[in-house]
Amino acid sequence: MTERSELPLESYYDLTEITDVATSPDGDRVAFTATEYDQSAEEAVTSLFVVPTDGSREPHRLTTVAGAANPTWSPEGDRLAFLAARETDVDRRVGWQDRDEDDAETNDDEDNEDEEDAESETDETPDGGNGDDEPKRQVWLFDLARGGDARQVTEREDGVTGFDWSPDGDRLVIAARDPTDDEQEYLEQVREGGPVETTRLQHKVDGAGWTDEVTSYLFVVDLATDETTRLDDAYGGGAFEDLEGMQPRWGPTDRIAFLSCRLERPDDTMVRDVYTIAPDGSDLRRVTDGELQCSRPTWRPDGGLGFVASDPENWCRPAEVYYDDGEELRSLTADLDRTVAFWGTIEWADDAAYTLVGDEARTRIVRAGLDGTVDRVFEAQGDDRAILGLDVADDGETAALIFSHPQEGTDVHAVAVDDLEAATEPDSLRRLSAVNDDLLERYPMPAVRRVEWESDGWTLDGVVYHDPDVDLADGPHPVVVAIHGGPMSYDEPVFSFNHAVLTSRGYVVFRPNYRGGTSRGREFAEVLRGRWGTAEVEDVVAGVDALVDRGWADPDRVFGYGFSYGGIAQGYLVTQTDLFTAAVPEHGIYDLRSEFGTSDSHNWTEADFGLPWENPETYDDASAILDAGEIETPLLVMAGGKDWRCPPTQSEQLYVAARKQGVDAKLVVYPDEHHNIGDPDRAIHRLEEILEWYETHDPARETTESD
């Protein structure tokens, strides 16, 4: 390899990742959250920023205490509320407080014992993963007119999962758990190390933990008096309600929308219905009929209600934008055959809903009119950057975008809504942040291009990243095949620290969009339904062969990695092919029979494969572990110790099967991680392990050492 400036792994601590974005009602400001990494504390820190949409100044950091999410402007734009797990507001800690007799008699020694007990509690709780020794997420708000620090608005023992403002801005609706006395006693028992007891079918949820019988309700909070009123008929339910929440939204006609499943067996389905209720708790109405999996309700200024909905039994059917005008419920995007993106919301402007969809391996904006027209808009986006967020101001004139570009980073932009029709970049498009410019100036970020190839009569596409100083035609080069998860997902050009680490060390990164993914319609997605380990294997192999034919890829130096379905697909590839020189299956599933009931995904698995005792052959056909005798590829198998989406026992099975046959294999388990790697030190360690694995098994290195 020629000498190049390698991106140091410790530079991960210089990375900033933008998440939520919210435009003020009049469109003059944008609030956003950004996750940074504190090296001394070895943790991620998410802060809240505000920036003017005219670009007149740089973003202003509002929070100096770690933790912020879901920024939401008040109707007048003078206050900004958000969720955060912070220490209790001083106003709620000082002065005389009524306490029960037991609390009043607690001495310092007992307090210390309580703290020690709390430290042993799992960090898997429905409020976002905080243990009992850590604050729970509450609603806080900044008064931007008066200034000063944020004020704590709520003090729920189990935290708050969602909230919204009333139309007049004097109240909030919040969603929170409300245990009975018996349920509270049980929760305390579990916190003290007692047994977990459950009768729920959905007995666990990744990132939320063991489920329980506690019900979540909506509460209305008066901001002037702190008086809180529970809406008894507004309660949650459903298999993943512990993770997704009730998503309350307060409409302009003084009705509150929320999500719940009230079918006979709510844990045995992915159905989630939309309900609305009056803020005094009266007049509950059911908007949908128990046939849809709904999310992200959003009100129009005239009182119409939009939401995203998908088929609860067939996730290959695209998610659509639905609209209820009070008289008729209809889909606005039924004829599009493109799915609303995982992060796509509904943004109203005039007589249309704007949303993000996956379309030909690109996240792009679609305008769905109430008159039935659906148009792809904003060609000015181009083909080399992704949109990771969209929010339109209440006045319908200004939009905020999160753009991600492989070489320019991920940043907040503003644009006039009228210019979303633009084919070329409009003057109104302004970049409002530059959160990774220091990193971008010091180290080379990957060049990117899209590629196409043929597989089984389909024309497929993928994304190739490489060092900008390397000419692909001067190959062949070592290739890392990075396989996306899902499989209901797709790859497009994005800014990625992981990609830059690999390309700066001479690797070409290939991200194939195999059949079974989204962005190309229902037929394309359904190719893999109930047939895992078939089409995607053909497609990935054909894609690599195409790169070899171009002279870009060295067939003897092809490496793999990928999370979730990216790990699952590698299980098939190493048992059915000799494609990889070395592979890194991460957080995957390799034995569908033992996965059923041990993960949190029984509803999804049943939808694809049926039940294992009814369709054992279908499960076996999709279980790579049954072909483990064919493994010859060196495997670095990675797992999260608390991953309940793809349990670590699955990775253990693959690892033991390889080692049993004398195949070089290594197992790495991160005990505290769920279905991701969130801790920065572990993220760095993961990259170290992957690089070392590739280098150890790289035949070019072996040749050099022998010479």
Please say whether the beta carbons of 295 and 321 come within 8 A: no
Q: Residue 523 is inside which H or E element, if any?
A: helix 522-526
Strand partners, 352: 349, 369
CB of 275 closer than 8 Å to CB of 285: yes
SS3 294: strand
Element holding 687 (H helix, E strand): helix 680-696
Q: Give the C-alpha distances (Å, rounded to integers) separating 601 from 319, 654, 678.
A: 19, 20, 21
pLDDT for the residue numbered 657: 98
The residue with tokens 């498009």 is: 429
Q: What is the end-to-end Cα distance of the chain in Å, rounded?
A: 16
Task: Look over the chain and give the mean of its residue pLDDT values, rounded to a whole number.
Answer: 92
The pLDDT, as a whole number, for residue 120 is: 32
Q: Please name the residues in contact with 550: beta carbons below 8 A apart, sequence gap of 6 or more.
A: 472, 475
Contacts of 146 (CB under 8 A, 6+ apart): none
Other C-beta atoms closer than 10 Å to the C-beta of 147 total 7
Helices 535-549 & 565-576 angle (0-180, nearest 10): 80
Q: Report the distance separating Cα 367 and Cα 174, nearest Å.
A: 30
Give Rg (Cα) of the chain: 26
Question: Residue 158's closest CA among 89, 85, 74, 225?
Answer: 85
Query: What is the per-residue pLDDT across 388-400, written as a single tens digit (0 to 9) for each?
Result: 999 999 999 999 9
Q: Which residues pair with 164 in a beta bridge?
A: 173
Tokens of 350: 């005039």
Q: Fill in the DSSP letter of residue 181.
A: H
Strands in 43-52's sheet, in edge-to-edge order, are 17-23, 29-38, 43-52, 60-61
Within 10 angstroms of residue 309's Cβ, the number of other Cβ atoms is 23
For residue 375, the tally of other CB atoms under 10 A from its CB is: 12
In whole angstroms, what is the distance from residue 472 CA to residue 177 CA? 55
Could you identify the residue written with the tokens 């949303």?
355
Residue-wise pLDDT for 616-636, tens only, equals 999 999 999 999 999 999 999
User: Residue 654 and residue 656: Cα distance in Å, rounded?
Assistant: 6
Q: What does DSSP say about strands 458-466 and 508-513: parallel, antiparallel, or unpaired?
A: antiparallel
Give the C-alpha separation, 231 to 47, whole Å: 32
pLDDT > 90? residue 109: no
Q: Give the Cα separation of 220 and 223 in Å (integer).
A: 9
Q: Is the peptide bond before 476 cis (omega within 30 degrees of 0)?
A: yes
Q: What is the token pair recorded at 370?
A: 């109430």
Question: Model confidence over 133-145: pLDDT tens digits?
Answer: 678 999 999 999 9
Interval 211-238 mean pLDDT: 97
Q: Confidence band (pLDDT; 50, 70, 90) for 212?
A: very high
Q: In this predicted structure, what is the pLDDT of residue 64?
A: 78
Average pLDDT of the residues in 641-657: 97
- Residue 129's nearest CA partner among 209, 237, 211, 36 is 209
Residue 21 pLDDT class (50, 70, 90 cuts): very high
Burial string for 463-482 (b: 16+ CB within 10 Å, else e) reads bbbbbeebebeebbbbbbbb
Quote the pLDDT of residue 42.
83
Between these two residues, 42 and 254, which has the higher pLDDT value?
Answer: 254
What is the spatial distance between Cα 527 and Cα 536, in angstroms, rounded to a whole number? Answer: 9
pLDDT above 90: residue 46: yes
> Structure pTM?
0.92
Share above pLDDT 70 across residues of the chain, in percent, rounded to a whole number: 93
At residue 307, φ and ψ (nearest 5 deg) are -160, 165
Whether the predicted pLDDT of 678 surpasses 90: no
Residues 547 and 632: their CA atoms lie apart, in Å, by 23
Question: Average pLDDT in the 363-390 region?
Answer: 96
Average pLDDT value for residue range 184-193: 95
pLDDT of 569-592, one tens digit each?
Answer: 999 999 999 999 999 999 999 999
Token pair 């599933």 in the structure block, residue: 589
DSSP string, 450-516: EEEEEETTEEEEEEEEE-TT--GGG--EEEEEE--SSSS--------HHHHHHHTTTPEEEEEE-TT
User: What is the 3-state secondary structure of 347-408?
Assistant: EEECCEEEEEEECCCCEEEEEEECCCCEEECCHHHCCCCEEEEEEECCCCCEEEEEEEECCC
Least confident interval from 27-36, 99-108, 318-327, 601-610: 99-108
- Residue ranges matching CATH 3.40.50.1820 in the chain: 444-706
Task: Pull the structure tokens for residue 536.
Answer: 């995607």
pLDDT in tens, 399-443: 999 999 999 999 999 999 999 998 899 999 999 999 999 999 999
CA of residue 418 relative to chain centroid, distance: 30
Say if domain 444-706 classifies as CATH 3.40.50.300: no
Query: Using one digit for the tens of pLDDT, what is the confidence trace for 3-14?
Result: 458 999 999 999
From 43, 44, 24, 23, select the one nearest 34 (Cα to Cα).
44
Distance CA 301, CA 259 (A): 20
Q: Map residue 649 onto helix, strand or coil.
A: helix
Q: Mean pLDDT across the stretch 364-384? A: 96
Binning pLDDT at 50, 70 and 90, where does residue 699 land? very high
Q: In this predicted structure, which of 81-85, 240-244, 404-408, 702-706 has the lowest mean pLDDT?
A: 702-706
Mean pLDDT of 185-200: 95
96 pLDDT band, cuts 50/70/90, is low
Which uninterrupted H or E stretch holds 171? strand 171-177
- Measure the CA–CA gap between 189 and 182, rounded to whole angstroms: 11
Q: How far is CA 472 from CA 210, 426, 464, 497, in A?
A: 49, 33, 10, 21
pLDDT of residue 65: 79
Alpha carbon distance 567, 572 (integer Å): 9
* Whole-number percent of the chain with pLDDT over 90: 88
Q: Helix (H, G, I), strand (E, B), or coil: what is residue 698?
A: coil
- pLDDT higher than threshold 60 for residue 38: yes
Question: Would you place residue 705 in the very low, low, confident or very high pLDDT band (cuts 50, 70, 90)?
Answer: low
